[in-house]
Structure 1
Amino acid sequence: MRTISAALVSAGAVLPLLAHASTAAPDPTDAGASVPAVTVQSAFDGYKSYQDGEAPSWRQLNSAVSPTRGAAGIKHGQQPGATPDAKTSHEHRGESK
Protein backbone atom coordinates (compact mmCIF):
# COMPACT_ATOMS: atom_id res chain seq x y z
CA MET A 1 0.00 0.00 0.00
CA ARG A 2 2.86 2.36 0.75
CA THR A 3 4.47 1.71 -2.62
CA ILE A 4 1.23 2.50 -4.45
CA SER A 5 0.83 5.74 -2.49
CA ALA A 6 4.43 6.72 -3.17
CA ALA A 7 4.02 5.99 -6.89
CA LEU A 8 0.86 8.11 -7.07
CA VAL A 9 2.46 11.01 -5.24
CA SER A 10 5.54 10.95 -7.46
CA ALA A 11 3.43 10.70 -10.62
CA GLY A 12 1.37 13.66 -9.42
CA ALA A 13 4.55 15.67 -8.86
CA VAL A 14 5.98 14.87 -12.31
CA LEU A 15 2.75 15.39 -14.27
CA PRO A 16 2.86 19.24 -14.30
CA LEU A 17 6.43 19.14 -15.58
CA LEU A 18 5.39 16.92 -18.47
CA ALA A 19 2.45 19.14 -19.31
CA HIS A 20 4.63 22.24 -19.58
CA ALA A 21 7.26 20.43 -21.65
CA SER A 22 4.76 19.23 -24.29
CA THR A 23 3.06 22.57 -24.94
CA ALA A 24 4.80 24.87 -27.36
CA ALA A 25 2.28 27.70 -27.32
CA PRO A 26 3.45 31.21 -28.11
CA ASP A 27 3.80 33.70 -25.30
CA PRO A 28 0.36 35.25 -24.71
CA THR A 29 1.89 38.64 -23.92
CA ASP A 30 3.68 38.80 -27.31
CA ALA A 31 1.54 40.96 -29.63
CA GLY A 32 3.48 39.85 -32.71
CA ALA A 33 3.02 36.10 -32.16
CA SER A 34 1.27 34.21 -34.93
CA VAL A 35 -2.11 32.75 -34.06
CA PRO A 36 -3.61 29.75 -35.83
CA ALA A 37 -6.85 30.33 -37.70
CA VAL A 38 -9.95 29.22 -35.84
CA THR A 39 -12.84 27.66 -37.71
CA VAL A 40 -16.05 27.15 -35.80
CA GLN A 41 -19.12 25.44 -37.18
CA SER A 42 -22.25 27.51 -36.73
CA ALA A 43 -24.97 26.16 -34.48
CA PHE A 44 -27.49 27.01 -37.18
CA ASP A 45 -25.89 24.96 -39.96
CA GLY A 46 -28.53 22.59 -41.33
CA TYR A 47 -31.37 24.39 -39.55
CA LYS A 48 -34.80 24.02 -41.11
CA SER A 49 -37.58 26.25 -39.88
CA TYR A 50 -40.73 24.59 -38.57
CA GLN A 51 -43.63 24.61 -40.98
CA ASP A 52 -47.17 24.18 -39.66
CA GLY A 53 -49.31 21.78 -41.58
CA GLU A 54 -52.94 22.37 -42.44
CA ALA A 55 -54.76 22.72 -39.12
CA PRO A 56 -58.43 21.85 -38.59
CA SER A 57 -60.87 24.66 -37.84
CA TRP A 58 -62.20 25.29 -34.34
CA ARG A 59 -65.60 23.89 -35.36
CA GLN A 60 -64.01 20.60 -36.42
CA LEU A 61 -62.08 20.40 -33.14
CA ASN A 62 -65.18 21.15 -31.06
CA SER A 63 -67.26 18.52 -32.84
CA ALA A 64 -64.49 15.96 -32.33
CA VAL A 65 -64.52 16.38 -28.54
CA SER A 66 -68.20 17.12 -27.94
CA PRO A 67 -70.29 14.37 -26.30
CA THR A 68 -72.56 12.28 -28.47
CA ARG A 69 -76.33 12.81 -28.38
CA GLY A 70 -76.89 9.62 -26.35
CA ALA A 71 -74.82 10.95 -23.45
CA ALA A 72 -76.40 14.42 -23.33
CA GLY A 73 -78.96 13.53 -20.62
CA ILE A 74 -76.55 11.95 -18.12
CA LYS A 75 -76.06 13.84 -14.88
CA HIS A 76 -73.10 13.64 -12.55
CA GLY A 77 -73.05 10.30 -10.69
CA GLN A 78 -75.85 8.72 -12.72
CA GLN A 79 -75.27 5.52 -14.64
CA PRO A 80 -76.54 5.31 -18.23
CA GLY A 81 -79.95 3.57 -18.33
CA ALA A 82 -80.71 4.22 -14.63
CA THR A 83 -83.87 6.05 -13.62
CA PRO A 84 -83.56 9.27 -11.61
CA ASP A 85 -85.36 7.61 -8.66
CA ALA A 86 -82.94 4.64 -8.50
CA LYS A 87 -80.57 4.45 -5.54
CA THR A 88 -76.94 4.94 -6.34
CA SER A 89 -74.11 2.88 -4.94
CA HIS A 90 -72.93 5.96 -3.04
CA GLU A 91 -75.09 5.81 0.06
CA HIS A 92 -74.31 7.13 3.51
CA ARG A 93 -75.30 3.90 5.36
CA GLY A 94 -77.47 5.35 8.04
CA GLU A 95 -75.73 8.70 8.35
CA SER A 96 -77.79 11.81 7.90
CA LYS A 97 -77.25 13.70 4.69
Structure 2
Amino acid sequence: MRTITAALVGAGAVLPLLAHAATAVPDPTDAAASVPAVTVQSAFDGYKSWQDGEAPGWQQLNRAVAPSRGVITMKHGQQPAATSDGKSGHEHGGESK
Protein backbone atom coordinates (compact mmCIF):
# COMPACT_ATOMS: atom_id res chain seq x y z
CA MET A 1 0.00 0.00 0.00
CA ARG A 2 2.84 2.36 0.84
CA THR A 3 4.49 1.57 -2.47
CA ILE A 4 1.39 2.50 -4.47
CA THR A 5 0.94 5.72 -2.51
CA ALA A 6 4.58 6.67 -3.02
CA ALA A 7 4.30 5.96 -6.77
CA LEU A 8 1.16 8.09 -7.10
CA VAL A 9 2.71 10.98 -5.16
CA GLY A 10 5.86 10.78 -7.28
CA ALA A 11 3.86 10.71 -10.52
CA GLY A 12 1.78 13.64 -9.30
CA ALA A 13 4.92 15.65 -8.58
CA VAL A 14 6.51 14.92 -11.97
CA LEU A 15 3.37 15.38 -14.09
CA PRO A 16 3.33 19.23 -13.98
CA LEU A 17 7.00 19.29 -14.99
CA LEU A 18 6.24 17.11 -18.01
CA ALA A 19 3.27 19.23 -19.03
CA HIS A 20 5.32 22.43 -18.72
CA ALA A 21 8.13 20.97 -20.81
CA ALA A 22 5.72 20.00 -23.61
CA THR A 23 4.53 23.57 -24.24
CA ALA A 24 7.01 26.07 -25.64
CA VAL A 25 5.96 29.29 -23.95
CA PRO A 26 8.09 32.33 -24.72
CA ASP A 27 9.61 34.13 -21.79
CA PRO A 28 7.14 36.83 -20.71
CA THR A 29 9.98 39.17 -19.77
CA ASP A 30 11.55 38.98 -23.26
CA ALA A 31 10.30 41.99 -25.26
CA ALA A 32 11.68 40.55 -28.51
CA ALA A 33 9.81 37.25 -28.18
CA SER A 34 7.39 36.47 -31.00
CA VAL A 35 3.77 36.30 -30.01
CA PRO A 36 1.17 34.39 -32.03
CA ALA A 37 -1.64 36.45 -33.52
CA VAL A 38 -4.83 36.32 -31.54
CA THR A 39 -8.09 35.98 -33.43
CA VAL A 40 -11.27 36.43 -31.48
CA GLN A 41 -14.70 35.91 -32.94
CA SER A 42 -17.02 38.80 -32.20
CA ALA A 43 -20.08 38.11 -30.10
CA PHE A 44 -22.10 40.07 -32.66
CA ASP A 45 -21.09 37.99 -35.70
CA GLY A 46 -24.27 36.83 -37.40
CA TYR A 47 -26.43 39.26 -35.41
CA LYS A 48 -29.54 40.37 -37.22
CA SER A 49 -31.55 43.17 -35.71
CA TRP A 50 -35.19 42.50 -35.00
CA GLN A 51 -37.51 44.18 -37.47
CA ASP A 52 -41.27 44.28 -37.03
CA GLY A 53 -41.86 44.96 -40.70
CA GLU A 54 -44.37 47.39 -42.12
CA ALA A 55 -46.65 48.51 -39.32
CA PRO A 56 -49.54 50.93 -39.74
CA GLY A 57 -49.08 54.45 -38.42
CA TRP A 58 -50.98 55.80 -35.44
CA GLN A 59 -53.36 57.78 -37.67
CA GLN A 60 -54.39 54.63 -39.52
CA LEU A 61 -54.86 52.73 -36.25
CA ASN A 62 -57.01 55.55 -34.83
CA ARG A 63 -59.21 55.51 -37.93
CA ALA A 64 -59.62 51.74 -37.61
CA VAL A 65 -60.96 51.90 -34.04
CA ALA A 66 -62.90 55.17 -34.26
CA PRO A 67 -66.69 54.88 -34.57
CA SER A 68 -68.07 55.42 -38.03
CA ARG A 69 -69.69 58.79 -38.83
CA GLY A 70 -73.19 57.27 -39.05
CA VAL A 71 -73.20 56.10 -35.42
CA ILE A 72 -74.74 58.42 -32.82
CA THR A 73 -72.74 58.43 -29.62
CA MET A 74 -74.03 59.28 -26.17
CA LYS A 75 -72.13 60.92 -23.39
CA HIS A 76 -72.26 59.62 -19.85
CA GLY A 77 -75.61 60.49 -18.21
CA GLN A 78 -77.35 61.40 -21.48
CA GLN A 79 -80.77 59.84 -22.17
CA PRO A 80 -81.34 58.04 -25.48
CA ALA A 81 -83.22 60.00 -28.13
CA ALA A 82 -86.91 59.29 -28.76
CA THR A 83 -87.73 56.98 -31.65
CA SER A 84 -90.01 57.89 -34.54
CA ASP A 85 -93.09 56.52 -32.73
CA GLY A 86 -92.53 58.88 -29.77
CA LYS A 87 -91.30 56.26 -27.30
CA SER A 88 -87.88 56.30 -25.79
CA GLY A 89 -85.72 53.20 -25.88
CA HIS A 90 -86.09 52.57 -22.12
CA GLU A 91 -89.79 51.82 -21.98
CA HIS A 92 -90.87 48.23 -21.58
CA GLY A 93 -93.85 46.77 -23.39
CA GLY A 94 -97.03 46.53 -21.28
CA GLU A 95 -95.84 48.72 -18.45
CA SER A 96 -97.43 52.11 -17.85
CA LYS A 97 -95.51 55.15 -16.84
TM-score, structure 1 length as denominator?
A: 0.48
Larger-Rg structure: 2
